[in-house]
Amino acid sequence: MMSALHSNQSLRACVQCLYRSTHPFGLQFNSDGLCTGCITHREKFELDWDARFAELQQLVSRRKRRNRNRHYDCVVPIRGTPEYFYVMDVVKNRLGMNPLAVSYNSQFNSEVGIQNIDRIRDTFDLDVLIYSSNATTYKKLVRESLVRFSNMRWPYLAGESVFPVQVAVERDIPLVVWPYHQATEQVGMHSYTETPEMSRRNRAQFDLLGIEPGELTSSETLVSESDVWDLEYPSDQALVRTGLRGIYLSNFLPWDSRRYSEEMISRFGALGAKSLRTFDTYDRIDDMTYMGVHDVLKFYLHGYSRVTDNLSREIRFGRINREDALAVERHYQAEYPKEEIKLFLDWLGMEYSAFEWYAGRMPFFAERSHMAPLSRSAESFVSGFTSNASPVNESKTFILYGKGLHLND
């Protein structure tokens, strides 16, 4: 188990958003008590975004000249959420590229996630490459990262962050297009004008929580090198040979997940759905465990959860005040999805009592409380999010591929 990295003594909160100094990406504050995430966010209102988009167009045309793949211009990772319609709309319709869409199978797919992937493929007439690792190995890795790092998502994060890079190298396609750089969006790691790009180091530090695949294969575990072979980042030689660059669209557009998602729902029929532990009906709705077991563990480990991320974004865009946001945060953090956690534990082959034992030893473990009702203004904020599909956790099984194939049947 990971020990408490931050004592409550050093706990500091931003005066604007809901992030505290316990954020795992690291947060700093200016003399007014404003966090680096909020400071960087101001650039969304201040930069000349038309000029930045023109820079993107130039970058893309330079990449095209370098391309040795005769068919595809770039690799674009997709997930079954409305935001990825937006990514494709930019790549295909605004930049005029021919992308190869790739998707790493989380194996915890929701119905709405599968439907969104289908709709992205149909709407933009795409070739889609999906990679699913075998269930035995995947389960072994999920169990290992849960027990050792209190995080059940590491295997997915590792696969999702490397599969597009591997495909680009194998097919000699010199560009991967990601939506945003998470550490910049949340804690303002870089200014947008620094234009951070994908790198092995960035993947290890932020996507993989500082844990490299090789670290899972120490002698005291059952994980061997052959279990993580497909999670290794391509060699520097291979990257140089391909001339590969991985860019984030959020450096060229004032990224706003909510606004983009709502635009995609109205323009292309993207689907939003009610989730657990948050009001946001667009974020991570493709995965039945993200807002369930993963979010509960995130709260116990770091003292905040995904609703904090969602609310911090909404505060920074001026769409909710701090007082309402704190009430909404408390409300959703009290939601405890026991049945959904049990579904995951059944899949993993772990007893609920063992999970409770682990959870009880985590640094921010808290006894459960009931969900206090929301004020009228908080309620009206929450009802502004669209759900036009069945709830994320309506199905009682994880969906492996499309209709009819379930993991735990």
- Give the strand order in the sheet containing 127-131: 127-131, 99-104, 74-77, 175-178, 245-248
Query: How far is the C-alpha of 321 from the C-alpha of 303, rounded, in Å?
Result: 21
Q: By CB under 5 A, what part of segment 64-103 binds Zn ion?
A: none
Total binding residues toward Zn ion, as defined by CB under 5 A? 6
Query: Which C-beta is closer to Zn ion: that of 35 or that of 101?
Result: 35
Contact 75, 164 (CB under 8 A): yes
Site track for Zn ion across 265-304, x = CB under 5 A: ----------------------------------------
Q: Taking contact as CB under 5 A, which single stretch among the options 8-16, 128-136, 299-307, 384-392 is the one that binds Zn ion?
A: 8-16
DSSP secondary structure letters along 89-153: IIIIIIS---EEEEEE--S-B-HHHHHHHHHHHHHHT-EEEEE---HHHHHHHHHHHHHHHS-S-
Contact 341, 296 (CB under 8 A): yes
Q: Taking contact as CB under 5 A, which single stretch among the options 6-14, 104-112, 114-122, 393-401 is the one that binds Zn ion?
A: 6-14
Q: By CB under 5 A, what part of segment 22-61 binds Zn ion?
A: 35, 37-38
Classify residue 397 by burial, with Cβ atoms within 10 Å: 0-12, 13-18, 19+. Answer: middle
Query: Which C-beta is closer to Zn ion: that of 21 or that of 132?
Result: 21
H or E element, residue 176:
strand 175-178
CB 287 to Zn ion: min, Å? 26
Contact 283, 388 (CB under 8 A): no
In total, the chain counts a number of residues equal to: 409
Query: Which C-beta is closer to Zn ion: that of 11 or that of 354?
Result: 11
Query: Which C-beta is closer to Zn ion: that of 36 or that of 251?
Result: 36
Name residue, tokens 């650039």.
Answer: 43
Query: Which C-beta is closer to Zn ion: that of 27 or that of 400?
Result: 27
CB 39 to Zn ion: min, Å? 8
- Buried residues in 303-341 as b, exposed as e (16+ CB within 10 A): bbbbbbbbbbbbbbbeebeeebbebbbebbbebbbeebb
CB 38 to Zn ion: min, Å? 3
Query: Which C-beta is closer to Zn ion: that of 36 or that of 289?
Result: 36
Q: Taking contact as CB under 5 A, which single stretch among the options 10-18, 142-150, 264-272, 379-387 is the one that binds Zn ion?
A: 10-18
Query: How far is the C-alpha of 247 from the C-alpha of 172, rounded, in Å?
Result: 16
Q: What is the DSSP letter of 374?
A: P
Phi then psi dihedrals of residue 207, to 5 deg = -75, -40
Query: Which C-beta is closer to Zn ion: that of 64 or that of 322?
Result: 322
CB 250 to Zn ion: min, Å? 17
CB 275 to Zn ion: min, Å? 24
Is position 18 an interface residue for Zn ion (rule: CB under 5 A)? no
62 contacts: CB under 8 Å, gap ≥ 6: none
Q: Let me know the angle formed at the C-alpha of 407 by 117 and 275, rounded to the nearest 5 degrees.
A: 55
Given candidates 17, 152, 162, 253, which one binds Zn ion under the rule CB under 5 A?
Answer: 17
Is position 14 an interface residue for Zn ion (rule: CB under 5 A)? yes
Is position 16 an interface residue for Zn ion (rule: CB under 5 A)? yes
Query: Which C-beta is closer to Zn ion: that of 103 or that of 184?
Result: 184
CB 326 to Zn ion: min, Å? 13
Query: Which C-beta is closer to Zn ion: that of 35 or that of 157?
Result: 35
Q: Taking contact as CB under 5 A, which single stretch among the options 9-17, 54-62, 134-142, 347-355 is the one that binds Zn ion?
A: 9-17
Query: How far is the C-alpha of 177 from the C-alpha of 99, rounded, in Å?
Result: 9
403 contacts: CB under 8 Å, gap ≥ 6: 114
Q: Taking contact as CB under 5 A, which single stretch among the options 17-25, 190-198, 221-229, 294-302 is the one that binds Zn ion?
A: 17-25
Q: What share of the chain is helix, strand, coil (3-state, %, to 5)?
A: 50, 10, 40
Measure CA 45 to chain center. Answer: 24
CB 18 to Zn ion: min, Å? 8
CB 404 to Zn ion: min, Å? 45
CB 37 to Zn ion: min, Å? 5
CB 206 to Zn ion: min, Å? 18
Instruction: Report the interface residues with Zn ion, using CB under 5 A.
Output: 14, 16-17, 35, 37-38
